[in-house]
Amino acid sequence: MAGKPKLYYFDGRGKMESVRWLLAAAGVEFEEEFLETREQYEKLLQGGSLLFQQVPMVEIDGMKMVQTRAILSYIAAKYNLYGKDLKERALIDMYVGGTDDLMGFIMMFPFLSAEDKEKQRAVVVQKATSRYFPAYEKVLKDHGQDFLVGNNFSWADVHLLEAILMVEEKKSDVLSGFPQLQFCDTFKQKMFPGSQEVI
Amino acid sequence: MSGKPRLTYFNGRGRMESIRWLLAAAGVEFQEIFFESREQYEKLIKDGVLMFQQVPLVEIDGMKMVQTRAILSYIAGKYNLYGKDLKERALIDMYVEGITDLMQMILMFPFSPPEAKEKTLDSIKERATNRYFPVFEKVLKQHGQDFLVGNKFSWADVQLIEAILAVEENIPGVLSEFPLLQAFKIRMSNMPTIKKFLQPGSPRKPPADARYIETVSRILKQ
C-alpha cells in the first residue's frame, strides 16, 4: 500500500525542514520533488493536489497532506513519537508550539535585507535566551530525564534539537547559559546512533 | 480532582475565543479570569505560570496549558471531537489549520491602522471566497454529509462555524456563492450547545472594540 512518503517543496528548508527532521528521526526514508519553476507549481495547483493552494505538501498513506502542523502531528503519531496518552501529547504539543514560534523568527531570514538580518539576528538570540531556552532548560532540570516528555524520545525532542541548531547557526555560543540543553550532542548520539550523515 | 477549566486572558476574543467555542460546543462549563492591568500579567510571569510568558493560559486537569493549538488539541481529544482514528485526525488537523490561517487575518484586523483597514478587509474577503470557503463547500458537496469529517461532529466543524460567523461580521453576504456552507451554518447554529453559546449571556465575547485594543496594547506594551 504505502510507498515512501513524497515531499513537495522548494529545494531548501522553509516550512518543510521540520518534516524532513521528523521523518529522519523516525528512520523513515522519503522522496522529494523540488519546485523549480512556476509551471510545476501551477501543475500541482491545477491537479487539485494542494488543498489550500500551498506547499508543503506530503503524499503519505494515500493522502495528499498539507499544513505543516497537521503533517507533523500525523507522522509523530504514526511513528510513536507523540507520547503515551493525552496528557503527554498535550505537553509535546505545548513544547512544539514554543519551538515553532522560535523557528518562525528565523524562517524569514533569507528574505531580509542585510541590515534587517542583523536586527532579526538580535531578536532571535534575545527570544531564544530569555524566553524559549530557559523554559526547556527548566523542564529538563526539573525531571532530570534525558528526554523532554515521559522519559521517552518524542517529536518535542526532535523539534527542540532542530531549533537549537538553527539558533546556533546565528550565534554559535548561544547555549552557554544552558547546561541541560548543551546535552544536544548527547541527544544527537541517542537519536541518530551511527548515522552521523543525517545531521 | 478537576474542577472547571479556568481560562486566563483579556476580556475579548483574541486567541482565546476558539477555546471558548470548543469548550462550549463540547458542553463544558468553564471559569474565566480577565486581565485588566499590566501588574496582573507581570505577576503571572513572575510566578512562572506562563511557560513562554504568553497567554492564552488554560488550567485544565491539573495542567497549566499554554499555546492555543495545544490547548485546542487537548480539548478535542478529551471530548471526542477529534475523529475516530489517525486519518480522520489528519483531516481535522488539515481543515483546522487552514481555517486558523484565515482566522489569523481576522485576529489581526482590529489592530491594523485605519488607513490599512479597507485593504485588509479586501484581503480577508479574497482569501475567504477564493481559498478557504471553496474547499469546505467542496468537502461537504463530495460526501453529502452534515459534518466535515467522518459523518460526525468534530473540532473542524466548530472551527469552521466560528470562522464563518467572524468573516460575516465584517463582510456580510460573504457566503452568497456557497449554498452548502449556508446550510452548514444554520445546522451548526442549531446544535444545542452551539445554540446556547450564540445566545446573549454566554461566554462568547463581542468583536474587538477600542477599549479592548487599548487594554491589550497597554498590557502587552505594544
Interface predicted TM-score of the whole assembly (ipTM), two decimals: 0.95
Helix, strand, or coil here: A3? coil
Average pLDDT, chain A: 91
The residue of chain B nearest to residue A138, with distances taken between CA atoms, is B51
How would you list the strands of the sheet with B31-35, edge to edge? B31-35, B6-10, B57-60, B63-66
Nearest beta carbon to residue A94 from set B70, B98, B135:
B70
Q: Do A97 and B70 touch (CB under 8 A)?
A: yes
Q: Domain map of chain B by residue range?
A: 6-79+198-220, 86-190
| Residues of chain A positioned with their CB less than 8 A from the CB of B88 | none
Provide the pLDDT for residue A194.
45
Look-up: residue for cell 460526525?
B152
Say if residue A174's pLDDT is above 80. yes
A90 to chain B, any CB pair closer than 8 A? The answer is yes
Provide the pLDDT for residue A195.
42
Residue B57: phi and psi, rounded to 5, are -125, 130
Q: Do B73 and A63 touch (CB under 8 A)?
A: no
Cell of A118: 542583523
Say if residue A198's pLDDT is above 50. no
Provide the pLDDT for residue A183.
75
Nearest beta carbon to residue B52 from set A51, A68, A135:
A135
Say if residue A127's pLDDT is above 90. yes
Provide the pLDDT for residue A197.
39
CA separation (Å) from B118 to A113, B109, B170?
A: 29, 10, 11
pLDDT (tens digit per residue) in A22-72 = 999 999 999 999 999 999 999 999 999 999 999 999 999 999 999 999 999
Residue B101 has, within 13 A of its CA and on its CB side, a CA count of 19
Residue B200 per-residue DSSP state: T
Cell of B49: 505560570
| Residues of chain B positioned with their CB less than 8 A from the CB of A77 | 86, 89
Ranges in chain B, pLDDT < 70: 1-2, 222
Q: Which CATH architecture has domain B6-79+198-220?
A: 3-Layer(aba) Sandwich (3.40)
Question: Does a cis peptide bond (omega within 30 degrees of 0) precede residue B56?
Answer: yes
The residue of chain A nearest to residue B131, with distances taken between CA atoms, is A52
| Residues of chain A positioned with their CB less than 8 A from the CB of B89 | 73-74, 77
* CATH class of the structural domain B86-190: mainly alpha
Q: Do B87 and A89 touch (CB under 8 A)?
A: no
Nearest beta carbon to residue A93 from set B67, B87, B135:
B67
Chain A nearest C-alpha distance from B52 (Å):
6
A4 to chain B, any CB pair closer than 8 A? The answer is no
Work out the percent of chain A whose per-residue pLDDT is above 70.
91
A150 to chain B, any CB pair closer than 8 A? The answer is no
Which is nearest to A17 in space by CA: A147, A158, A150, A121? A158
Provide the pLDDT for residue A73.
98
Q: Do A93 and B70 touch (CB under 8 A)?
A: yes
| Residues of chain A positioned with their CB less than 8 A from the CB of B132 | 52
Chain A nearest C-alpha distance from B200 (Å):
32
Interface-testing mutation among B53, B73, B135, B138, with chain A (most A C-beta atoms within 10 A): B73
Roughly how many angstroms between the first and final C-alpha of chain A, as a whole number? 30
Look-up: residue for cell 480532582?
B1
Provide the pLDDT for residue A1.
46
Provide the pLDDT for residue B221.
78
Rounded mean pLDDT, A94-112: 94
CA distance A95 to A91: 6
Provide the pLDDT for residue A192.
57
